[in-house]
Amino acid sequence: MSGLKTFFKDTVIYGLAIVLPRLINFLLVRLHTDVLPNEDYSENTEFYVVAAFFNVILTYGMETSFFRFFSKNKEKNAVLSTAMITIVLTTVFLGILLFLFRTPISETLRINTDFYSLLVGITLIDTLIVIPFAYLRVTGRPVRFAFIKLINVLIIVLLNVLLLSKTYGLDNLRQLFSVENNVEYIFIANLIASAVVLVLVLPYFFKTKLQFEVKVLKQLLAYGWPIMVAGLAFVINENFDKWLLPDMEGEFVNGAYSACYKLAVFMTLFIQAFRMGAEPFFFNHSGKKNAKETYATILKYFTIVGSLGLMIVVIYIDLLRPVFIKKESYLLALDIVPIVLLANLCLGIYHNLSIWYKLTDRTRFGMYISITGAIITIAFNLIFIPRIGFMASAYATLIAYGLMMLISYVLGRKYYPVPYQVSRIGLYLFLSSGLSFITYYSFDRNILLGTVFLLLYLAFMVFLERKELKQIFINK
């Protein structure tokens, strides 16, 4: 169990490094929905949808490739230096192209030209800091990692509050920027915060001895390009709905949908925290004798914790929601929350299962699976939004991620069989989602009944896992 204890420790540390800043940042949802009308909030969402596409293209799978080859290659400096040099050169080259062709690109993407310049600036800087952050993770420096992440989000939050909130009367500060509307302040705050982070990680660009190995680059690119394609497909799965809804249902509806979608952030944060600790752990632990059994146990407890998170958010949504969204116009899409939470839990299980193609260097399968999910997302949205409105987008997300999870499991059994406790995992998934949906949709979000369901689920889980829980958390 020592491997599991190490994993849980790392996940908690990296979890705090990711969850705390993101949670602080999430508090801005209340400020944004209070200050911005639905239409402007929709515009803010569309901005970051395009940013997500740019980030995937500009990094082209280099982060995961770096993890893979830094862990297995004895010449670690060659991997680090080659990755850094490559990212810097391609970022500069692509950045020049993006600025030179800003007018046709911004028009095609339906983004204001001023917004587009900010978008490119943010994504270029965020690309440059990818390898330094990956280096901190793979070399086990969570405190430094957490500190920089926290600085980033505190600057974003502070600038958002100062620029958007009229309570503080900082008109002189706002006059420093010539903006068309309040939403632009959000992008300016993000750009300034990203620039500060780049300054903080600059020393890591000079700590390594310059060493460019063509052989290493070929390995990084061969491993990474399917991950890039899979990343693009993932962005489609995650964001195509928010790109399509403004045209099909209007900016007002998309603003409400995007805001309510953010209420699933608790599951997203859990998944991100898990991945931060899991990815380096999985690669570093792959040579151990009990690796597969450890992976199986991790997936089970990931499902248990994720299922608890699903139930807590759904059952207590009427207590949580006013903290983040108060304006009534945004509550139009509240019914998507349970579905999106379950969809993201399936996505988290998929990420856990995906270790089979990463460890066997079959990343093209991840690309195929993600493309399948993207096709489902696009088709379902186009067909069913005209029939059932924005709820179709939530169902599309659940179906796509659920199918990706199942496909990955089936293929993993063939190429890298792990003894997952499928019946136990399926039971927890079925119980938590079933009880949550009954509470929300059949009993009108009855908190008392939901609490009873939650306690029953907890008691049932502890009873089934009592021996293993004792080994992990009590026995040394």
pLDDT at 276: 65
Q: Does residue 124 carry a pLDDT above 60?
A: yes
With beta carbons less than 8 A apart as the criterion, state whether 184 and 118 touch. Answer: yes
pLDDT at 287: 65
Tens digits of residue pLDDT in 450-468: 999 999 999 999 999 888 7
Tens digits of residue pLDDT in 216-240: 889 888 888 888 888 888 888 888 8
Q: Does residue 127 carry a pLDDT above 80?
A: yes
Q: Does residue 142 carry a pLDDT above 80?
A: no
Start-end of H helices in 27-101: 28-35, 38-59, 62-72, 76-100
With beta carbons less than 8 A apart as the criterion, state whether 153 and 21 touch. Answer: yes
Neighbour tally for 39: CB within 10 Å? 16
Question: ∠ CA 122-127-129 to the nearest 5 degrees?
Answer: 100
Whole-angstrom Cα distance, residue 171 to residue 444? 45
Q: Higher confidence at residue 142 or residue 88?
A: 88
Tens digits of residue pLDDT in 310-369: 999 999 999 988 888 888 899 999 999 999 999 999 999 998 898 888 888 888 898 899
Q: Higher confidence at residue 470 or residue 429?
A: 429
Q: What is the pTM of this model?
A: 0.82
Q: With cut-offs at 50, 70 and 90, classify the pLDDT of residue 284.
A: low
pLDDT at 94: 93
Tens digits of residue pLDDT in 177-205: 666 678 888 899 999 999 999 999 998 88
Q: Does residue 75 carry a pLDDT above 60?
A: yes
- Chain centroid to Cα 406, Å, comes to 20
**Nearest by Cα to 88 from 121, 124, 53:** 124
Whole-angstrom Cα distance, residue 4 to residue 379? 41
Length of the chain: 476
> Residue 233: in which H helix or E strand, if any?
helix 214-248
pLDDT at 338: 95
Tens digits of residue pLDDT in 12-66: 666 666 666 666 667 788 888 888 899 998 988 888 888 988 999 999 888 888 8
What's the whole-number average pLDDT of the chain? 86
pLDDT at 44: 87
Q: With cut-offs at 50, 70 and 90, classify the pLDDT of residue 277.
A: low
Hey, what amino acid is at 296? A
Q: Does residue 383 carry a pLDDT above 90?
A: yes
pLDDT at 262: 86
pLDDT at 144: 83
Q: Higher confidence at residue 271 or residue 7?
A: 271
pLDDT at 435: 96
pLDDT at 285: 64
Q: Does residue 11 carry a pLDDT above 70?
A: no
Tens digits of residue pLDDT in 89-99: 999 999 999 99
Average pLDDT over residues 398-415: 94
Percent of the chain surpassing pLDDT 70: 87
Q: With cut-offs at 50, 70 and 90, classify the pLDDT of residue 163.
A: confident
